[in-house]
A and B are shown apart, each in its own frame.
Chain A
Amino acid sequence: VRKQCQITSFFSPG
């Protein structure tokens, strides 16, 4: 089973 990652786990606010 594959889990969908979120963009926010790669790029942080700023």
Chain B
Amino acid sequence: MLELRLVQGSLLKKVLEAMKDLVTDANFDCSATGFSLQAMDSSHVALVALLLRSEGFEHYRCDRNITMGMNLNNVSKLLKCAGNDDIITIKADDGGDTVTFMFENPKQDKISDFEMKLMDLDSEHLGIPDAEYHAIVRMPSLEFSRICKDLSSIGDTVVISVTKEGIKFSTRGDIGNANIVCRQNTTVDKPEEATVIQMNEAVSLTFALRYLNSFTKATSLSETVTISLSSELPLVAEYKIADMGYIKFYLAPKIED
């Protein structure tokens, strides 16, 4: 028996919006730790890892580990039927082939439930080792989103370089080229407005902007994004989900052929 009650239902709505364009079908794993997901996009260039810890739910009952395969577009459609202030409860029976999403409005005078068929998906769970990154940059998520959007009007790929000067985003296209540098800036009114650069070693990597733009769909989940870069590893863009966990996007670089 699985029963997860999330008071801030809007979080789940936002999580689905952040993932549904990148990943079509995915297995949600439910255990005592929490509600999680790991999935790659169809071309295996990007990977998303989600964790909503059990402590973040008002009620969390998961008698045994359950894997539930779902089409994210369909889940997103169902969650669009929930109001932003609704409480969302996810229910499933052990060994069952359906999941139920229940929505309660704040006045508790409207209760909806939607039952959805689960899918049997081949899960290809990848082991992601802990790594020391050459550079870790925390910046306002809205700023990162703006940069990715602006640069994609000029080019298809971006070179992200971190030096002592700051983090530089460069692109080139038919009309010319563009560089945006964000310097470390900690003299801000609110900590979430800061740009903080931790650099062990200078790093420069090339990425497809299309994927980075897709990751920025998570912007509404967190005011800051943490970008981790290492020359031998995929980029990680992490959006923390307040009091609950995170959504992390991994993106494999483009390398010299």
A positions within 8 Å CB-CB of B: 1-14
B positions within 8 Å CB-CB of A: 40, 43-47, 124-129, 157, 206, 208, 232-234, 250, 252-257
A9-B45 Cα distance, complex, nearest whole Å: 10
A7-B126 Cα distance, complex, nearest whole Å: 9
Q: Give the interface centre of A3, A6, A10 by most chain B CB atoms within 10 Å.
A: A10
Interface of A: prevailing SS:
mixed
Apart from A1-B257, A8-B126: 20 A-B pairs, beta carbons within 8 A? A2-B254, A2-B255, A2-B257, A4-B208, A5-B254, A6-B252, A7-B44, A7-B46, A7-B234, A7-B250, A8-B44, A10-B233, A10-B252, A11-B47, A11-B129, A11-B234, A11-B250, A12-B126, A13-B124, A14-B126
Contacts of B43 in A (CB 8 A): 4, 6
Task: Select from chain B the residue with minimum beta-carbon distance to A10.
Answer: B234
